[in-house]
Structures are given as C-alpha cells and as structure tokens.
A = this chain, B = another copy of it.
C-alpha cells in the first residue's frame, strides 16, 4: 500500500463508507462531503499517503469537527474555521504542519479532513484514531500511546478561538466540550499535534482506504439492486446481527450527547424476537429480548436501511423503519485493557463486561 488519490468524484463513496463506519453517530458526512467537493473543485484532488511513508520527524495534525453534528447541519461551516484552527495551532507551535490526520474514520469527521487537505495541499495520512466514530475526544488510539490532545485549538464560525493546554486527554475533553457548547454547539478543532513517529505507533492503519472501498461496495451493490449487507460482511469480516423494524424509541439529550434506546421487532427469520439497541451518539450495545448482549462497544454496530441499503444514523431512527445491523470486530488496540478503559461498555455505563463479537455471535447461535 503506497497511497492513493481521492478526487471530487470519490467523495460520494467516502461519505457512504464514513457513514457506515460511523456506527450511527459522528454526524452525517454529507456536509463534509460538500466542503471537500468545493475545495477539490478549486484546488484539485487529495493525496492520501501510507503511514509508513511519513518521516518520523514530520508534524502530523488532525483537524476535525467537535460538538453536535446536528448543529453543523443547520449552521453550515463557512470553510474558514477549519483552516483557521489549523493556522492558529501552527502559529502556537511555531511550525507548519506537514501532514493531516483523520481523527475518526466514521461520520462527519471522515470527510472534513479531505476538505482541509484539498484547501491546504497537505497530504492526508491513510489511517485514523478510531477506525469508527466515538463521542468523546480522548477515545482515540493516540491516547493509548500517550500522545497529548493538547495544545488544541478550537475555532467557531464567529471568529472566536482558543488554545487549550490540559493535564490529560480526559480534561481536554471536559474543557473543550464546555467551550464547544458555548460556541453554539459545534466548533472546528486542531488537536493531537504529533510527530510522524508518534503517528506511526498509534494510528489505525489504512482505514481511509477501507472507507473508500466500503463506499464503493455500497454504490456497486445498490446499482446491481442488491442489498450491500452481504458484500460488506464479507469485505470487513463482519457478522449479521439482526434485521428488525423500529417499534419504540426513547431519546434524551444529556451532557451534550444524544442518548437513547430503540426496540426492534425481528423480521424475516427473526420474527417474534425483539432487540434492544442502545446509543450515545453511536450505537454501542445490542441485546436480545432476554438482555443477552449480541454486540458491545468498542466493536462496531453498523446500521443499514433494510430496504435501500444506505447507512442509518441514530438521529434518523424512527418508528417503522426497518434496519439491518452488521457487527464488525474493533481494531485489536480497542480490545486491550487500555482500549476498554477508554471506550468499553463500562465507560458508557452499560452493565455488560466486554466480550468480542465473535464470541457473542457464537454463543447466541448455540
């Protein structure tokens, strides 16, 4: 793998793949896709480079959106905030960035880095810090490798900005979250500035290539009038969790997050069964009607419309919608003790101890 080029025409596939790996959260990648397409029309395609090809002493910087993606959809970024955040971080560090990093391969933040990369001409590294979407900023592989999230810059659409220095990535999350809320619910941020060597130790590799492949698979299966679920399970080593219709949904907004639970009634060969799907921005826990877990964070629970095959977000869940849930094993880094401390079921307040989706699937079949 030695990198590839992403053109304006590829962004639709990137957005679809990002929505799938977004596991219901991270925001619809659509706005980021529009931003990237506009930047590419003006400045040409984006170079995606393999992590191995980045020098150890290069400065690598993730640029992304923080806050409620629903806000971003109503209050479109003007395109300057992300560049402003990057420039402010560069000014603070007294050094220009050499490469951009995608902080999460799922949701809106899977597309925004392409916009920044096109506008700045900086190459984007093929990989990310999550391999999916997660709701909090310390939930990245880089935290497990002791990379500090700060100095971090937050910039809003009005022209306010701040440079944060915190004693831990959890404190960065707390302080940046409060600021993001006050900035109107969403901010563009540049954070986790790191060397090429640090990037190579922590990054989940080649996930942008995977995003593009997933998106293309969804496109091609849909063009052939096939539901893309089977092809994605095959490509990603995934598991068919269930297909069901939403018969009930509870939502509450707590601490800036969209928390809730949907009840699905099984369809096809799962008629008569019920499934409980819990989320905090992302889908995090799926249980059967006896409360037995079928998939648990940090493993991925990806949702597709059971009919059309397009990715489904937690916001778009509604009574009567039929969805197909596909489980994917998380990157092995997430299944370590450090990974589970950061983003396991316990962190989110679910009672189940983590168990890999492979084991849960086998157990549910016996």
Interface residues of A (CB under 8 A from B): 92, 158-167, 171, 174-175, 177-179, 181-183
Asked whether A158 lies within 8 Å of B171 as measured between CB atoms, the reply is yes
Asked whether A175 lies within 8 Å of B166 as measured between CB atoms, the reply is no
In the bound assembly, the distance between CA atoms of A6 and B158 in angstroms comes to: 44
Identity of the chain B residue whose Cβ is nearest the Cβ of A182 in the assembled complex: B178
CB distance from A179 to the nearest CB of B (A): 6
Do A163 and B162 contact each other (CB < 8 Å), given the known contacts A175-B183, A182-B174, A182-B175? yes
In the bound assembly, the distance between CA atoms of A166 and B182 in angstroms comes to: 12
Identity of the chain B residue whose Cβ is nearest the Cβ of A162 in the assembled complex: B164
Which residues of chain B come closer than 8 Å to A174, judged between CB atoms? 182
Asked whether B163 lies within 8 Å of A163 as measured between CB atoms, the reply is yes
Q: Which of B163, B167, B178 contacts A158 (CB 8 A)?
A: B167
Q: Which of B161, B165, B178, B179 contacts A161 (CB 8 A)?
A: B165
Do A171 and B160 contact each other (CB < 8 Å), given the known contacts A179-B179, A182-B178? yes
Do A165 and B162 contact each other (CB < 8 Å), given the known contacts A181-B178, A182-B174, A182-B178? yes
CB distance from A145 to the nearest CB of B (A): 21
Which residues of chain B come closer than 8 Å to A164, judged between CB atoms? 160-162
Which residues of chain B come closer than 8 Å to A178, judged between CB atoms? 178-179, 181-182
Which residues of chain B come closer than 8 Å to A92, judged between CB atoms? 163
CB distance from A161 to the nearest CB of B (A): 5
Asked whether B179 lies within 8 Å of A175 as measured between CB atoms, the reply is yes
In the bound assembly, the distance between CA atoms of A158 and B162 in angstroms comes to: 19
In the bound assembly, the distance between CA atoms of A183 and B177 in angstroms comes to: 12
Identity of the chain B residue whose Cβ is nearest the Cβ of A163 in the assembled complex: B163
In the bound assembly, the distance between CA atoms of A171 and B161 in angstroms comes to: 10
Given contacts A162-B179, A163-B163, A178-B178, 17 further A-B contacts (CB under 8 A): A92-B163, A158-B171, A159-B167, A160-B164, A160-B166, A160-B167, A160-B171, A160-B175, A161-B164, A161-B165, A162-B164, A174-B182, A175-B182, A175-B183, A177-B182, A178-B179, A179-B179
Interface core residue of A167, A181, A182 (most chain B CB under 10 Å): A182
| Sampled A-B contacts (9; CB under 8 Å) | A159-B167, A160-B165, A160-B166, A162-B164, A162-B175, A162-B179, A175-B182, A178-B179, A178-B181
Which residues of chain B come closer than 8 Å to A181, judged between CB atoms? 178
In the bound assembly, the distance between CA atoms of A84 and B284 in angstroms comes to: 41
CB distance from A150 to the nearest CB of B (A): 9
In the bound assembly, the distance between CA atoms of A164 and B161 in angstroms comes to: 6
CB distance from A176 to the nearest CB of B (A): 9
Which residues of chain B come closer than 8 Å to A182, judged between CB atoms? 174-175, 177-178
Which residues of chain B come closer than 8 Å to A162, judged between CB atoms? 162-165, 175, 179
CB distance from A255 to the nearest CB of B (A): 12
Which residues of chain B come closer than 8 Å to A177, judged between CB atoms? 182
Identity of the chain B residue whose Cβ is nearest the Cβ of A161 in the assembled complex: B165
Which residues of chain B come closer than 8 Å to A159, judged between CB atoms? 167
In the bound assembly, the distance between CA atoms of A87 and B153 in angstroms comes to: 19
